[in-house]
A and B are shown apart, each in its own frame.
Chain A
Amino acid sequence: MSLLQEEREIILNNEYVDNFDFAEVEEFVKNASKDLFISYNFAKSNKMLVQPRGGFPTYNKMFALYEFFVDANVDVLPCTIDSNTRLNDYATSKKMLRLSEENEVDMLNGYPLVNHGYRTTRKMMTHFNKPISLRHGTPDARLLIETAIASGIFEIEGGPITYLLPYSKNFPLDKAFLYWKYVERVCAKYSGLNEPINRESFGPLTATLVPPCITIVIQLLEMLLSLEEGVKSFSVSFSQSGSMNQDIVMGAVIKKLAKHYAKEINCEDAKVHLVYHQWMGAFPQNKDFAEQLINMSTVIASMVGADKIITKTREEASGIPTKEANAKTVANTQYTLRILNGLPNIVDEEEEEILTEEVMSIMEAVFNDPADTLWRKVFNSIKNGIIDVPFSPHIINNNEMITIRDANKNIRIIKRGKVPISDRCYEYEKSKCDLTKDTTSIVNDIIHDIGIMQ
């Protein structure tokens, strides 16, 4: 038995999981409808795929949510997991699921997949014949991913950096890398049986003034960590930054560099897709304005050339959106996409050149770390501040980088910390901002910039 298989047997031998029948699961994946694979949908579709967010505790409510989405012409169904499962606390999920089933109140903020089990969940996931995307936020997702694939969920979101630095204060980063390595290997293993399992990174990070170079570096590194384990279909992503021009530049650079670095590790045969998140920051309280902002996101996603868009709703500022609101935003986004044709191709050569140089110098510094494997190089780079995510709550993050918006709403680095961007790029970034201000005014600017849409 291979080491991986031994590890799998141990992980799946968990008291909260139904008995895993590997042979049966393999047979299921082999014969599963191709429509369930987002990788297949990316290849055959000539439009941007639309995917909302959403997850409910009980089977019935989840099923009803999917019915709403299908009526609204959704392309990809979401399966958002509850927060107890994300922390591997299956006992609490089990209790809360029971309470949700017995009463008419939802006691969980997502679908407790492990507790429902794959035999039950598969009935729902295969019923609609649409691809499903697993959204969670779990540092140790090994059991969850096994259950997801066995259920017919063939896209897995997340990664060791993007599901940790924005969401945790002290979960050990080195453990996250090793647990995600397991996930990549399992995804790669199943990919040979039918269409490839798609992995997707989570580009929005902390959704607060993250500069494009940091987002892109982290996307590229999670992509490389995935491809080197044998994954053949990967989505890089980022969210609306607040500057249309910066988004378009970011889209161009991330596409170009994803291809470049995949080739460097001889993985150019892997398919890389681009996902765009509608505005992830603080939403305007005014719901009409929120709707305008969402519509603007859809236009930008078209200009960026995204393969998939993940939607937001006009309810975001006031609480958790209903299934009706979620379905409505899907229908609206589809409508906007249908009427958007023949957009001009905007190129900003100077910004592209600066951003490319910034990303490549950080990547070079990561590769130059003396550790023997890529994940250790990345781990060291986060530890010593070569990668620094503004506003990450995690204790390992360096937190020296400071960013603000310039007059055109572009996110600019005014303090680079230990992030190795060249003096030329650093001077360019700073030249766009008014740095004569004192720290108190700069802090006031940052407070204002976080809620750019107000």
Chain B
Amino acid sequence: MKVVTGVVGNDIHVVANRLIELSLKARGFEVFNLGVNTYLEEFIDAVIETDADILLISSLNGEAEGWCREVNFLKNKYGKLLDDVVFMIGGNLVVGTGSAEDIVPRFKNYGFDLVFHQVDLNTGLDELEKFMSERK
């Protein structure tokens, strides 16, 4: 399965991004890592270009809150091309502090299928694999 991943916005925190790439590869995914400092449109372009199954966005410094409101807008714009793509986001998703109970539904509303706020990397990827196998 193909995954496009990267850190959204002007965030330059790269460590988690590298670890996500390593972990995904170890689990047998084909990974297209756009790295840090990536805009939402770039993600969508890469998903379409690579015909990816999953878009996994990560964020550390809270920029996700500002950038990801447009996910549904872009989904509508591209219509069928994105219908089968699983949208996942994880990391530290808001500026300041917030609880997962508030944040998860909010990001699902923005257009994400899977949302992980301050969740351990392996737990997040276990959930992703579970989600993908149940979907089939």
Contact = CB atoms under 8 A, between A and B. Distances in A.
Chain B's interface size range is: 10 to 19
Interface string B47-73: 000000000000000000000000000
A391 B122 CA distance: 19
Given A393-B12, A399-B18, A447-B121, A169 B37 contact: yes
Contacts of A450: 15
A438 B36 CA distance: 26
A391 B35 CA distance: 10
Contacts of B18: 390-391, 399
Contacts of A208: 15
Given A169-B37, A443-B121, A391 B15 contact: yes
Contacts of B119: none
B1 interface: no
Contacts of A443: 19, 22-23, 26, 121-122
A393 B36 contact: yes
Given A169-B35, A440-B122, A447 B12 contact: no
A390 B19 CA distance: 11
Contacts of A442: 22
A444 interface: yes
Contacts of A42: none
Contacts of B81: none
B95 interface: no
Contacts of B121: 443, 447
Nearest to A392: B14
Contact of B37 (A392, A393, A439): A393
A443 B120 CA distance: 12
A440 B23 contact: yes
A270 interface: no
Contacts of A438: 26
Given A208-B15, A440-B122, A447-B19, 19 more contacts: A167-B12, A391-B14, A391-B15, A391-B18, A393-B36, A402-B22, A438-B26, A439-B25, A439-B26, A442-B22, A443-B19, A443-B23, A443-B26, A443-B121, A443-B122, A444-B122, A446-B19, A447-B121, A450-B15
30 contacts: A167-B12, A168-B12, A169-B12, A169-B36, A169-B37, A170-B37, A206-B14, A208-B15, A391-B14, A391-B15, A392-B14, A393-B12, A393-B36, A393-B37, A395-B35, A399-B18, A402-B22, A438-B26, A439-B25, A439-B26, A440-B26, A440-B122, A443-B19, A443-B22, A443-B23, A443-B26, A443-B121, A447-B19, A447-B121, A450-B15
List 5 tightest A-B contacts by C-beta distance, closest first. Answer: A439-B26, A393-B14, A169-B37, A393-B36, A443-B23
